[in-house]
Structure 1
């Protein structure tokens, strides 16, 4: 099937989607976002460029026949829209990786992709080293630990906002310590990196997670440590947040751009 790289659609049109559109334009990549799935109840205050078609229902988007759809909205969107797209034979990139902690949803997505002959790709987001984790898993991983630290403002609107006086913090404070499964449910918009690490490594139940608010930092910091038959590794990234949304790392938006480019490459390097 011929895949037109100009027929790319996105689910949602928030800060990350706008950053992606700007990045694609500035890179002169030849890739354009031509449509968005944006139900009526989510359109208030959202500005969509005139050259981007707006659809309110997934059936309308399917009729538009995109070559690739990027989910850039929420866990709810993965549940409600992505299975239908896959079953219609449309490839999808999922950004809300935390949604995949739901095993029943993963089964639905796999069945839909099999019926439609389509493919779902998970965006790596703001973290690196996932290729190492995937390779090491085949030999056996004993432990995987993820530590995420962000400025207090990045945790507004999360469970930490009620448990801590974020604006008054004067030192690095741990706001969550538990499993990746718990983190994905409690911090769905902040912990997609956690989910990506869990999927690449030893799963949501066994991956240990610590989340912290650090008033002395202006960066989103991600650290992954792994131990197994292969040996040990530790990787740390300090990412600048998106100017429009401090909950999200700029690198996460850039990783989506790379997913799009790689999807249409004849040779993947």
Structure 2
């Protein structure tokens, strides 16, 4: 990244506002150079179509608007040679979308980046994958209210006084498909390790936590490790961590994202995201 990175954003919800506030506190008055939002919505240097976003000449675009925003805008940005940091990483559970993004990278030269600081332990998981991983499990614990508005309401009684209820066990791909607003982390863990189909996920409604807690466990030829991440929930959106916006911003400012095209390509058990799309 250049010394002064020109940052743009897609979306101006809880995460986008957090990023804009942090940029203001850092004294980076020129950033964001543009923010893509729906017509009628106010945002710093707001624009309403991807062509205007490209015309702002950002070095990197931070997506913080959901899976549909990735589908609608990120391929065009990559094709224009602009790097994109994606928070809605669960969209890569869709083989058709992952293929479109990989093709846009190859054709345009923009890189699709996973923020390395989004989940503590991702860098260790990438290293372990090279040495050899047999199993990876990601468990997401959230208080009952954080699961409202999701399929969890049809599986368990969120008002049940039980201290803990497991309502999903399966692959990271299935977790992302069924719980797209809650399981982005599981896909990131899968991409960094042994793939989203082999990564096991457990989703838990827990009265023992007041904020989201994620546990990553891996075992293999490298040994084994366990990371526990208790991240305070965003004050405006209990379904996301307050740290999310800062990890995205530091990825953009410091140029420390993990290029998704290269994850999983250099070890015998791994798969790159574009190779999954090719054989589905």
Normalising by structure 1, report the TM-score: 0.88
Does structure 2 conserve the Cα–Cα contact (< 8 Å) formed by 1:124 and 1:193? no
Partner in structure 1 of residue 16 of structure 2:
17
How big is the alpha-carbon RMSD for the aligned residues of Structure 1 and Structure 2?
2.2
Match of 2:246 among 242, 254, 266: 254
SS of 2:120's partner is: coil
**Structure 1 ranges of 4+ moved more than 3 A:** 1-4, 27-31, 167-170
CA distance in 2, matches of 1:85, 1:126: 22
d(CA) in 2 for partners of 1:243, 1:150: 15
Q: Tell me the equivalent position of 1:200.
A: 192
Match of 1:156 among 145, 148, 151: 148
Q: Distance in 2 between matches of 1:3 and 1:106?
A: 31
- Check 1:264–1:182 CA distance in 2 against 1; reply closer, same or farther (3 A cut): closer
The correspondence of residues 9-48 of structure 1 with structure 2, limited to 5 A, is: 9-28=8-27, 32-40=31-39, 43=40, 46-48=41-43
Cα deviation for residue 31 of structure 1 reads 6.7
The aligned residue for residue 236 of structure 1 is: 228
Task: Determine which of 53, 75, 83 is the counterpart of 1:61.
Answer: 53
Query: Quick one: structure 1 residues 150 and 2, their matched pair in 2 at CA, closer, same or farther if it must change by over 3 Å?
Result: closer
Unaligned stretches of 5+ residues in structure 2? 258-280
Aligned partners of 1:184, 1:125: CA distance in 2, in Å? 20
Provide the residue aligned with 1:182 in structure 2: 174
How many residue pairs were aligned? 257
CA distance in 2, matches of 1:124, 1:154: 25
* Kept in 2: contact 1:3–1:67 (CA 8 A): no
Match of 2:106 in 1: 114
Give CA deviations for 1:126-166 in whole Å, capped at 9, x if unaligned.
42111111111122210000011011111111101233332
Q: Distance in 2 between matches of 1:179 and 1:31?
A: 42
Structure 1 residues 176, 206: CA separation in 2 closer, same or farther (over 3 Å shift)?
same
Residue 228 of structure 1 deviates from its aligned partner by 0.8
Partner of 2:81: 89
8 A contact 2:156–2:165 mirrored in 1 = no
Structure 1 alignment gaps of length 5 or more: none
Q: CA deviation at 1:124?
A: 4.0
- TM-score w.r.t. the length of structure 2 is 0.85
**Contact (CA 8 Å) 2:147, 2:239: kept in 1 or not?**
yes
Partners of 1:168 and 1:21 in 2: how far apart? Answer: 39
